[in-house]
Amino acid sequence: MAFFVFLGLLFDFLDGLSARALKVQSPLGIQLDSLADMITFGLVPGIVMFQLLTMSETGGWNLKMTETMNWDSFYGILPFFGFAITLSSAYRLARFNIDENQATSFIGLPTPANALLIISLPLILMFNGNDALNSIILNPWFLIILTVISSLLLNAPIPLFALKFKTWDFKDNAVRYIFILVSLVFIGTMKFLAIPAIIIFYLLSSFLLPHEEKKD
């Protein structure tokens, strides 16, 4: 599942470039793009959080991928709370389509970034996991709080820079170059723990580092 989300992220980046290069942009394309985003970056993280909450109720995860989707182990209604991420993503995508102020920057955490944050959790369990990390990630209170924070960040009225370069000049894109450099360092040293670290740095750098969207 994670592989297809990463693949979807790649295509989400390329589809707009392709449409502009081929001069085939259309209102229908915008709606289809949002529909694809809703599945890849809205429904999928909701399912992942549902499964993590299920595992948190049933004693954890034995780290075997063939046994992670054990629907027979579901107890109670708590895991369905994970789909709050899906609902929040739907609202965020709908709002994005009618918001003319997000052409060069974002208001609220983009759905691809939020999806990466959520799907990083099972990857961390698999590849970075230790007893301390596993106990945190599979703690139901941690997952509930993360679901709430994730849902709020998607629609929070906070300006965040986009990785869109109008020029390659460092002065105009300092925050983007710094973000890319730090992200590469995280990826090279932290495995899948790099994903939440990058998301946190993205939020902090949008607040602390100057970028041109804040001048509007």
Q: Which pLDDT score is estimated for 73? A: 45
Tell me which long-range contacts 197-204 makes (C-beta under 8 A, separation of at least 24).
199/109, 199/113, 199/114, 199/116, 199/117, 202/113, 202/160, 203/109, 203/153, 203/158, 203/160
Tell whether 186 is covered by a domain.
no
The H or E element containing residue 105 is: strand 105-107
Structural domain that includes position 86: 2-163
Tell whether 211 is covered by a domain.
no
pLDDT band at 98 (very low <50, low <70, confident <90, very high): confident
pTM of the model: 0.81
pLDDT digits (tens, 9 = 90+) for 53-94: 988 876 555 444 344 444 444 456 888 999 999 999 999 998
Tell whether 148 is covered by a domain.
yes
Tell whether 39 is covered by a domain.
yes
Residues 103, 13: contact at Cβ < 8 Å? Answer: no
pLDDT digits (tens, 9 = 90+) for 125-149: 988 868 888 889 999 999 999 999 9
Tell whether 27 is covered by a domain.
yes
Tell whether 184 is covered by a domain.
no
pLDDT band at 216 (very low <50, low <70, confident <90, very high): very low
Tell whether 18 is covered by a domain.
yes
* Structural domains in the chain (count): 1
Tell whether 204 is covered by a domain.
no
